[in-house]
Structure 1
């Protein structure tokens, strides 16, 4: 699975567990059910749930009666926590070194780096204000003003 897919799969997984009320082992959702919701392969789900479990956001039980469940309330899980849990990043890249002796080439990489850092900080700040519970709400205040693409 590509790095760019881990975060959306993780957020979807957590939202599904919250929606289904999976807060203990008795209510655990198996990877096949989670995979059908996304849709993706159960192996992908198991890789992501392992990362979420290491971060303490969920617990898992292997085997035919196994699955995943939340260890925290969805209102306390922010999307920046999810991003960190799956080693995701909002990294937009880094500018190449400019040509020596060129006034633009020596100046622009620093300025572009500052702009990228500001954008990444803004993304992290925005994600820190959105919870898994917000993803499940019809009109959460944390997503007010954000336009989602239509199909």
Structure 2
């Protein structure tokens, strides 16, 4: 899975666990069920849930009776924490080293690295205001006035067609 898909898959999985009331091992949701909701392969879900478990957001149990469950209330899980758990959203890459002896090549990587820090900081600040509970709500204040990202319109259209 690409870095750019980890965050949306993680947010989706956490929202699904909250929707299903999976707050203890007895309500664990298997990776195959989570994968069907995304939809993706269960292996992808297990990779993401491993990161979420390492961050302390969920617990998991392997095996036939295994699955994942939340360790916090959905309103207490902010998306910036989810972003950090899966190693960044806006992993926009890293600057190339630049050519030795070139004044631009020696200067630009440091400046691009600073710009990437600014982007990560801005994403974290915005996402810190949105919780998993907000994702499940109809019209949460944290998302008021925002439109879906233009890159997501085809996915939203397909999801709406399936629901209809």
Question: Where does 1:30-109 land on structure 2 (aligned, <5 Å)?
Answer: 30-93=30-93, 97=98, 99-100=102-103, 105=104, 109=108
User: In 2 relative to 1, CA 121–22 (structure 1 residues): closer, same or farther, beyond 3 Å?
Assistant: same
Taking a change above 3 Å as real, the CA distance of residues 36 and 136 of structure 1, as seen in their structure-2 partners, is: same
Task: Tell me the alpha carbon deviations over residues 26-45 of structure 1, each in whole angstroms, 9 at most, x when there is no partner.
Answer: 11100010000000011111
Change (3 A) 1:26 1:126: same
In 1, the alpha carbon distance for the partners of 2:69 and 2:89 equals 24
* Mapped partners of 1:112, 1:54: distance in 2: 30
8 Å CA contact 2:79–2:131 kept in 1: the answer is yes
Cα distance in 2, alignment partners of residues 115 and 42 from structure 1: 35
Partner Cα separation in structure 1 for residue 58 and residue 95 of structure 2: 37
Q: TM-score, normalised by structure 1?
A: 0.85
Q: How many residues align?
A: 147
Q: Does 1:141 align with 2:151?
A: no
Q: Is the 8 A contact 1:78 1:132 kept in 2?
A: yes
* Cα offset, 1:8, TM superposition: 0.9
CA distance in 2 between counterparts of 1:67 and 1:57 reads 14
| Whole-angstrom distance in 1 between the partners of 2:115 and 2:74 | 33
Q: TM-score, normalised by structure 2?
A: 0.79
Consecutive unaligned residues of structure 1, counting only runs of 5 or more, are none
CA contact (8 A) 1:79 1:128 kept: yes
Distance 1:67 1:93, change over 3 A: closer
